[in-house]
Amino acid sequence: MSLTDVYRYVDNNQDKLLEDLFRFLRQPSISTRNEGMDECAQLLAEEMKKLGIETKIFPTGRHPIVFGEVGPTNGDPTLLIYGHYDVQPPEPLELWDSDPFEPTIKNGRIYARGSSDNKGQLFAHVKAIEAYKTVFDKLPVKVKFIFEGEEEISSPSLEPFVAEHKDLLKSDLFVVSDSHIHESGHPLVVLGLKGMLYVEITLRGANKDLHSMRAAAVPSPVWRMIHLLASLKGEDGMVQIPGFYDNVRPLLPEEITAAEAIPFDKKELLSDLGITSLLQNRHANDYYKNMIFEPTCNISGLTAGYQEEGSKTILPCQASAKLDLRLVPDQDPDTILGLLKNHLNRNGYGDAKITVHGGFEPSRTPITHPSVQLASEAVAEVFGKEPYIYPGIGGAGPNYVFAKHLNVPCLIIPFAAADQNNHAPNESLILDGYFNGIKTSATLIHKLATTNITING
């Protein structure tokens, strides 16, 4: 028996593997309006139990967490798989070519809400247990699963749960399959996510909008907001909050090399976006280096005064800005918030109202960690090509929760294609993504048991 037999099992049982996935996809699980959540958790748990995974449903304040484990009791190293079974609402329905909750195969893809984000990708890991156990009868290492139902509503229950269940979740390697592979179809191993601080800053002036003739004598909160914001970021793209970059972790030479190895068609990107140049940032205009390594201070929304067509002459009584600051290791949202507040206080904006809409930490597994080589080998074996290694991406995710509370290296190994239409109509998962996902997960399990690399330090 060898991994080749596992791959053959997957190839020979595609219909059954799809049938089981389709049952899971047919069950709506829209967390934001609590549609089908308990039913979906139940269905997922049943599928896991069928495979001999010891499964338990943990209620939370909102939607349950499905936990499972399988494999030898002293099964070092332990692999922890994370995923989420909740999905975005499918609306607008009229833009779908098929029923979002009736999986439809077309053009080598499975079209369904949640097919790639994230039910299809997490289910590949579940089905790897089936494939592996069918061939080898039992698992060589312990595998744990944690599937939440609140990712699309910002995972409010996840961090408390993980913090409370450190022993249950104790593991040596964390893997999540979310996001997507490279636009070219090349596989990826992603080592980190940016953190975030989302704040809304509001300045008030008079107690009501005034006739704009008053602008000659009454302070404008809009002009104050302009100067406040201008003090946060220079025209050179550098964030000017004192201390903002202090905790940015120095890059490893291997991380720089990996970022430089990611292929990139600048001309095509500019043309796609309809822009003439990239942002000059700390890594000049090197797209991937900035996307991976650069913290941001972005204005997501800006509002003051008259918003309609044409003209109205008022001195607005309020101005507000929504800022999302994406953070890189080892920046911390609480520290950055403190720096921001200090900066505002020191510059005469002590009256600014700051509303925090969210914050989470960045995470990045060092590229030199042995698990990265292990995962790369598994991916290369299944996909037939070496993956690109992304030291990080700009998106959000719960990796930091696990990195922080379990002190575990975290890897993202996407199976979906770049044009998966996440959160949009006609979401899809490529069939190959599903089957390669099962194989990759099984290969990872196999390698964890047989490799010489010590991943748990």
Our finding on whether 399 is near a copy of itself (CB under 8 A) is: no
Place of tokens 């509370």: 405
Binding map of a copy of itself across residues 82-111, x = CB under 8 A, - = no contact? ------------------------------
Kindly state the DSSP code that residue 260 receives in the 8-state scheme.
H
Do 147 and 66 form a contact (C-beta atoms < 8 A)? Answer: yes
Strands 54-58 and 65-70: antiparallel
Q: Which is nearer to a copy of itself, 376 or 422 (CB)?
A: 422
Among positions 304-333, residues that touch a copy of itself (CB under 8 A) are: 304-307, 310-316, 319, 322, 324, 326
Residues 410 and 365: their CA atoms lie apart, in Å, by 6
Q: Where are the alpha helices (DSSP H) in 364-457?
A: 370-383, 399-406, 431-450
Q: Which is nearer to a copy of itself, 148 or 286 (CB)?
A: 286
Q: How far is the CB of 252 from a copy of itself (least distance, A)?
A: 19
Q: Which of 2, 300, 345, 450 binds a copy of itself (CB under 8 A)?
A: 300
Our finding on whether 4 is near a copy of itself (CB under 8 A) is: no
Our finding on whether 432 is near a copy of itself (CB under 8 A) is: no
Our finding on whether 248 is near a copy of itself (CB under 8 A) is: no
Our finding on whether 213 is near a copy of itself (CB under 8 A) is: yes
Strands 353-360 and 104-106: unpaired
Among positions 184-203, residues that touch a copy of itself (CB under 8 A) are: 194, 196, 198, 200
Q: How many Å from the N-terminal Cα to the C-terminal Cα in the chain? A: 30
Our finding on whether 267 is near a copy of itself (CB under 8 A) is: no
| Nearest alpha carbon to residue 356 among 179, 151, 197 | 197
Separation in Å, CA 330 to CA 246, 258, 340, 342, 391: 9, 20, 17, 20, 14
Among positions 332-361, residues that touch a copy of itself (CB under 8 A) are: 357-358
Interaxial angle between packed helices 119-136 and 37-50, expressed in degrees from 0 to 180 and rounded to the nearest 10: 20
| 128: its two tokens | 């790897």
Q: Which is nearer to a copy of itself, 163 or 275 (CB)?
A: 275
Q: Point out which residues bind a copy of itself (CB under 8 A).
A: 194, 196, 198, 200, 205-207, 210-220, 222-223, 225-227, 229-230, 233, 235, 273-275, 277-279, 281, 285, 287, 290-291, 294-307, 310-316, 319, 322, 324, 326, 357-358, 393-396
